[in-house]
Amino acid sequence: MSSFNGLTQRVWCALREQGHTVAVEFARDEESIADAARRADPQLILCPFLKERVPTEVWQKWTTLIIHPGPVGDRGPSSLDWAISEGKTEWGVTALQAVEEMDAGPVWATRTFPLPADPPTKSSLYNGPIADAAMSCVEEVLAKLDDPDFRPTPPEELAKIQVRPQMRQADRAFSWSEPAEAIVRKIRAADGTPGVRTEIAGVRVWAFDAYVGPRQADPPGTVVACRDGAVLVAAGTGSVWLGHLKKIPDETPRAKNGVKLPAALVLADHLPDGLTSPTAAAPTVEQCGPGRVHYVRRGEIGYVVLDCYNGALATDGCNQALHALRHAIRQDTLAIVLRGGSGPFCNGIDLNRIEAASNPAAEAWANITAINDVCRELITCRNQVTIAAFSGSAGAGGVMLPFGADLVVARDGVVLNPFYEMGLTGSELHTYTLPRRVGPDVARRLLTDALPVNVTTAQRLGLVDEIGPRDPGPFGNWLHEVALRYLDRGLRERTLRRKAEVLDRDLSVRPLDAYEARELGEMAQDMFDDRQGFDAARRAFVHKHAPERTPARLALHRAPGFVRG
């Protein structure tokens, strides 16, 4: 595989849960792939996310299946980009056997699904319907693997072959005089990579994170508003909110050059006079635009929504979340729900913002102390029942953040990475909340093993209490029904009484300040002294440097004495 991303982690978790021995190898070059296959001598090689060609030696000797993000007959490296750009109403996933020509092998399994009229971003399509269809294909492949009578079908017998070239910037190009809907579709087809080249306020950028805005009378291409890091640009008809931009390299300082950042930050020196980007207060749900942290009330239930781009919660986003949570606590609701938006739930502090800062260590420190304030507010909320919902996948501090809640639930299919990497020991008051939830031994193992878990395993370990539907719509309805349970006065009072008793008992022995002081003492060394390579790890992540090797915890086939299970 080319990356241990959300889909590959889901496949890895599912296979291990079924009792399979699963070894991972990052596809760096043909020799490393072939060497890994020789060492593992596997029954099956699965490639859920692969950009490289499989060496002839490998696919000829071992059954090797590619999960292609397109229906039968579709070929090429930009399948999702073309599907979104062309407004396809149906798309699919195909499990193909590897052969000499890419995407041309016989078909083992395929799934199709409808695409919404409102174009999804490429990343949300990949992590949603594509990942779900891929998991279904993998299940079918495993069932057929032991069937001696099964023969895969040549793709030309199932569908017309359509070979699509790699989509280039010339294919993505747009004019600001085009309708807003057309512009948004093109940008979403390139989100989160590579983005679309354009020029805004005289600055050459790659554009991401686009939403259709209100009608505007200003000339196309004019920046007409700015809010919460996003800018509103007039189009031929309507307007476009852009949440994030990446400056095309030039001679400007590194702080605003070549890193994907909130659009208003990238354009800060070029915005018209009078436009501001408030960050202290959390907007309400009625204020549209991308990248929102907001509060909304539904009857007796208050919702704090972390709708963070790619799950990164920067310092200002943490401050908004704290403001929204404190606002929620002041209301007369019976329960508060902390949940994510349409993407990942949260992946902790914002490494892009930290990398772009003039003083990365100072920004990292500000970010971690700000997210700790949110965690503390959740832990110490005594007057309302608190529910935290993993509405999307989460990692590092984003996994630890919800554990101060009374009830933790998750949407089916999400993956949690309950550990810290990047040369950080982590904070988020996890040294209190994680052992309280799963016990000290499991907490220690999760942090040291540094392996992802799916929701089934998470529930078994005690990380989550309940699992809701996979589909986002039904999950939201289910989540509201869970919150409405606390309309029952007896249940609510028992929950609040138990919370108060636990807090009084635990914090009389050691206050939260003591937990945080110990965690931040370690983090200070990580961030300011760089004792574990935080600077280099962060830079590699932000600039998407390919890893030099597969982590030993995943590459079981390279361990001494490895025996295939």
| Residues 15, 117 within the same domain | yes
Q: Cis omega (within 30 of 0) on the bond before 560? A: no
Question: For 381-465, where are the alpha helices, taking DSSP H only?
Answer: 397-400, 430-438, 440-449, 455-461
Cα-Cα-Cα-Cα dihedral of 226, 232, 238, 240, to 10°? Answer: -150
| Residues 448, 386 within the same domain | yes
As a whole number of angstroms, the distance between CA 542 and CA 505 comes to 42
Shortest CA distance to 62 belongs to which of 30, 34, 102? Answer: 34
Domain encompassing residue 63: 6-167
Shortest CA distance to 22 belongs to which of 38, 44, 7? Answer: 44
| Residues 254, 300 within the same domain | no
552 within domain boundaries = no
* Residue 162 identity (one-letter amino acid): Q
544 within domain boundaries = no
| Residues 101, 25 within the same domain | yes
Count Cα neighbours of 157 within 13 Å in the Cβ-side half-sphere: 7
Shortest CA distance to 155 belongs to which of 71, 63, 60, 48? Answer: 71
In the listed set 266, 285, 306, which residue is the last one of a domain according to the structure? 266
| Residues 153, 178 within the same domain | no
As a whole number of angstroms, the distance between CA 107 and CA 89 comes to 22
554 within domain boundaries = no
| Residues 299, 440 within the same domain | yes
558 within domain boundaries = no
pTM of the predicted model as reported, rounded to 2 decimal places: 0.93
CATH of the domain at 91: 3.40.50.170
| Residues 186, 300 within the same domain | no
Helix (H) or strand (E) holding 512: helix 512-528
CATH of the domain at 209: 3.10.25.10
Identify whether the C-beta of residue 256 lies closer than 8 Å to the C-beta of residue 266: yes
77 within domain boundaries = yes
What is the model's pLDDT at position 256?
Answer: 47
301-306 sheet: strands from edge to edge: 293-298, 301-306, 335-340, 385-390, 407-411, 466-468
305 within domain boundaries = yes
Task: Encode 250-274: b = buried (16+ Cβ within 10 Å), e = exposed.
Answer: eeeeeebbbbbbbbbbbbeeebeee
As a whole number of angstroms, the distance between CA 342 and CA 107 comes to 32
As a whole number of angstroms, the distance between CA 366 and CA 339 comes to 23
Q: Per residue of the chain (565 residues), give pLDDT as tens.
A: 678 999 999 999 999 999 999 999 998 888 989 999 999 999 999 999 888 889 999 999 999 999 999 999 999 999 999 999 999 999 999 999 999 998 899 999 999 999 999 999 999 999 999 999 999 999 999 999 989 999 999 999 999 999 999 999 999 999 999 999 999 999 999 998 999 999 999 999 999 999 999 998 899 999 999 988 999 999 999 999 999 999 998 655 544 458 999 999 999 999 877 775 433 333 333 334 455 799 999 999 999 999 989 999 999 999 999 999 999 999 999 999 999 998 999 999 999 999 999 999 999 999 999 999 999 999 999 999 999 999 999 999 999 999 999 999 999 999 999 999 999 999 999 999 999 999 999 999 999 999 999 999 999 999 999 999 999 999 999 999 999 999 999 999 999 999 999 999 999 999 999 999 999 999 999 999 999 999 999 999 999 998 888 999 999 998 887 877 5
As a whole number of angstroms, the distance between CA 415 and CA 132 comes to 13
Task: Encode 346-355: b = buried (16+ Cβ within 10 Å), e = exposed.
Answer: bbbbbbbbbb
In the listed set 135, 167, 199, which residue is the last one of a domain according to the structure? 167
536 within domain boundaries = no
| Residues 127, 158 within the same domain | yes
Q: Pairing mode, if any, of strands 196-200 and 203-213?
A: antiparallel
Q: What is the DSSP string of 111-149?
A: EEEE--SSPPPHHHHIIIIIHHHHHHHHHHHHHHHT-TT
As a whole number of angstroms, the distance between CA 284 and CA 304 comes to 10
| Residues 160, 189 within the same domain | no
Structural domain count of the chain = 3
DSSP annotation of 271: S
| Residues 359, 459 within the same domain | yes
Task: Encode 507-517: b = buried (16+ Cβ within 10 Å), e = exposed.
Answer: beeeebeebbe
In the listed set 148, 167, 186, which residue is the last one of a domain according to the structure? 167
Beta bridge partners of 213: 239
Identify whether the C-beta of residue 307 lies closer than 8 Å to the C-beta of residue 346: no
266: left (phi over 0), alpha (psi -120 to 50) or beta: alpha
As a whole number of angstroms, the distance between CA 3 and CA 25 comes to 9
**Helices and strands, counts by H and E, the chain:** 20, 21
440 within domain boundaries = yes
| Residues 320, 235 within the same domain | no
| Residues 487, 449 within the same domain | yes
